[in-house]
Structure 1
Amino acid sequence: MVSRVIYGRGSFNQLSDIIAPKRLNVKAPFIYLVDDVFKGNAWLTSRISLAYEDQLLFISADQEPTTSQVDDLVEQIILNHKDRPSGIIGIGGGTLLDLAKAVALMLTNKGESKDYQGWDLVKSPAIYHVGIPTISGTGAEVSRTTVLTGPERKLGINSDYTPFDQVILDPELTTGIPKDQWFYTGMDCFIHCVESLNGTYLNAFSQSYGEKAYELCKEIFMDDKGSQEEQQDKLMMASWHGGMSIAYSQVGVAHALSYGLGYLLGTRHGIGNCIVFDNLEEFYPEGVALFKKMKTLHGIQLPQGICSELGDDEFNIMIDVALGLEPLWENAIGKNWKQTITRDKLRSLYERM
């Protein structure tokens, strides 16, 4: 679990005070990885206090994080600084938070990040790392994984060393998000809840978080009441609770298939989950029915036919990626999932998208 978390509007202003005791020495910098959407945005950047050898790196979130990107960042940091950094601070959405977690891990573990894609392969604790979400829904701020697209697969570095040491939850930072992006990342949270609450890994701990997040999602996306500030506050907490729910259970069919889309087509995670989930009545009938109502209520038009021109080799690549996520299928279907989740079954599902 994340060992320290602070919540509240304006709490981002406390960042300098929070990390100051963690500085190792004047030559051990804090490295800030910041979504480049904030480049030139003094409202946020003026509140980041750089000192000594500290470095602020603006990174585009247009593409989801890759293992090569992580390795390049780690190499850049090592070459530019003689001392190991005091900490990594990620500021942004799921992409930046996953990058921050992965870089913090790879500064203390040998080899390439692709070597650690999987479950519990990390041997050494990461350096101190802080997560500050600027969009709500992904749950990356609380999860024990950092999802990366590698040369052979899209898969997270899942370990007890991955979670942030400190998270700052400031709903003010989510102001100004485009409506479509707000919906897609919000639905990522909703789908987390559906897959957790309907999975075989469900337990009382994950259920308590999942149910709370599910109810918050319904309030936000169905009732559509309250001020913008209230909606921001609720979605930030839904994201946290949804992330906690899957941290103690697992996701399911939508995420497994979405990883295939992301690996082959570069489909962003949030919208990919929505495209997949829209076709999963067979697995999550109540959740999909509610999702379709939310989609209509907010006037969201999902892309159609993204798999219509793919060939056999391309379908097989997506199917291989999806089938490699065995814990997701076991959670969704049960230990005997291979009896029903065949390559033909997955091909038919992809062909509907």
Structure 2
Amino acid sequence: MHKNFKGVEKTVYGRGSFNQLDDILAPVRAENNQYFVFLVDNYFKGKPLENRVPAHDHDLVYYISVEEHEPTTEQIDSLRDEILAQKGLPSGVVGIGGGSIMDIAKALSLMLTNEGSSTLYQGLNLIKKPGIYHAGVPTISGTGAEVSMTAVLTGPEKKLGLKCEWTVFNQIVLDPELIASVPRNWWFYTGMDTYIHCIESENGRLNNAYSHAYAEQSMKLCRDIYLGENSGQTPENDDKLMVASLMGGLSLTYSEVGVCHALSYGLSKILGMRHCYANCIAMNHLEDFYPEGVKEFKEMVAYHQIDLPQGLSNDWSDDILTQMAHVSYGLPHMWLHAIGDNWQEVITIDSLKDLFRRM
């Protein structure tokens, strides 16, 4: 069965395009109970962007910290219940922030119209009803969450996304000016998420001409940004990274991610490690799966003097290793892409524990 995925309905790109957000939302304000919910990364509280959020008097604005943990099912359920009890069904939801805020906005838009806990919908095409209008404004580039059909949530039992065509944003606003304030390490980690998306999309059985075309251009941009003659955090490279992130997200959508992402899910679920950082920790030790990609990744790490810690596994008990291995093992779609139909003959709980011991 060939994939038949729904793309973002509308995209505006360019420096200063954030200023158009109020006009973009205006036609939607008449829907439902005629108010918007803005979900803004708490990083911007007290910063100039706070005063630029186009919230009207009757709108709800939540500043959400994503430093402590990635989005959880409990967080989405509580936020949904609070909003509905307070003002009823909104006209729409707007997420302004990094990948976690994008996922929270997508998940919330779905759960505002679907009953029960979001844990019931972790998986493919389990959502019963379309969500409400939702727009994404990424302020950090790399995760591809702005174009992904998945809203990744960590639940009591698993870390897995709400994945269906209704998850995709109705509108995204890509303004490279918004990513200028990203700390250097996170500029690197999130950018490497894009690079890793492409390496894994390309190196697997589901790779095809469609996914390859996006991956090829995204990786070219990543090489310019992180290894090129004018590499570094510059306005020109911010422009490139925002486009690379979108293309990397589209590449994996029509292909799949693989070994690195499967391992990073284990690190995030059990240790609470942020996704992009977990990807970098894992990628650093996967030469036998992605030899050329890991070699180039390490060149980028060295070039930008990023200090990725070694010996982390010295502090992990066998029980912790086993828990992480089970989380990673429970992602058959990734292993099928990365290894093939015989993946269960190659990937075992013990072999996964050995991969984690490398870190």
For the residues of structure 2 that align with 1:142 and 1:86, how far apart are their CA atoms? Answer: 21
Q: Which moved more, 1:332-341 or 1:251-260?
A: 332-341
Aligned positions of 1:1-353 closer than 5 A: 1-24=7-30, 27-41=33-47, 43-62=48-67, 63-81=69-87, 83-225=88-230, 228-353=234-359
- TM-score, normalization by structure 1: 0.97
Which residue identity lines up with residue 287 of structure 2 in the other structure? E
**Which secondary structure does the structure 2 equivalent of 1:124 belong to?**
coil
8 Å CA contact retained: 1:260, 1:321: yes
1:130-172 deviation digits (Å, cap 9, x = unpaired): 0000000000000010111110111111111111000000000
SS of the equivalent of 1:321 reads helix
Alpha-carbon distance, 1:224 to partner: 4.8
SS in structure 2 at match of 1:146:
strand
Residue range with higher mean Cα deviation, 116-125 or 169-178: 116-125
Contact map agreement 1:66 1:150 (CA 8 A) in 2 = yes
Q: Which runs of 5+ in 2 are unaligned?
A: 1-6
Q: Distance in 1 between matches of 2:309 and 2:181?
A: 23
- Provide the rounded CA distance (Å) in 1 between the counterparts of 2:33 and 2:165: 28
Q: Percent identity?
A: 52
CA distance in 2, matches of 1:128, 1:25: 9
How far the C-alpha of 1:22 sits from its partner, in A, is 0.6
Task: Quote how far apart the aligned CAs of 1:115 are.
Answer: 1.1
What is the aligned partner in structure 1 of residue 3 from structure 2? Answer: none
Q: Which amino acid aligns with 1:130?
A: A
Point out 4+ residue stretches in structure 1 off by more than 3 angstroms.
none
Shift of 1:49: 2.5
8 A contact 1:29–1:52 mirrored in 2: no
- From the superposition, tell whether residues 349 and 26 of structure 1 become closer, same or farther in structure 2 (CA, over 3 Å): closer
Distance 1:305 1:258 in 2: 16
List per-residue Cα deviations over 1:265-321 (Å, max 9, x = no partner): 111111100010001001000000000000000001112222222222221211111
What residue ranges of structure 1 are gaps of 5+ in the alignment? none
User: Which segment is superposed worse, 250-259 or 299-308?
Assistant: 299-308
Partner-residue secondary structure (3-state), 2:165: coil
Cα distance, 1:53 vs structure 2:
2.0
In structure 1, what residue type is equivalent to 2:137? I
- Aligned partners of 1:216 and 1:323: how far apart in 2? 32
Deviation string for 1:197-223 (max 9, x for gaps)? 111111111111111101111111111
Between 1:222-231 and 1:147-156, the stretch displaced more is 222-231
| Inter-partner Cα distance in structure 2 for 1:74 and 1:262 | 24
Partners of 1:270 and 1:61 in 2: CA distance: 13
Taking the aligned partners of 2:229 and 2:166, their CA distance within structure 1 comes to: 38
The separation in 2 between residues aligned to 1:312 and 1:161, in whole angstroms, is 40
RMSD of the alignment, in Å? Answer: 1.2
Letter in 1 for 2:279: N
Q: d(CA) in 2 for partners of 1:307 and 1:32?
A: 39
Give distance in 1, aligned partners of 2:180 and 2:44: 12
2:104 is paired with a residue whose SS is helix
Q: How many residues align?
A: 351
Q: Distance in 1 between matches of 2:265 and 2:191?
A: 18
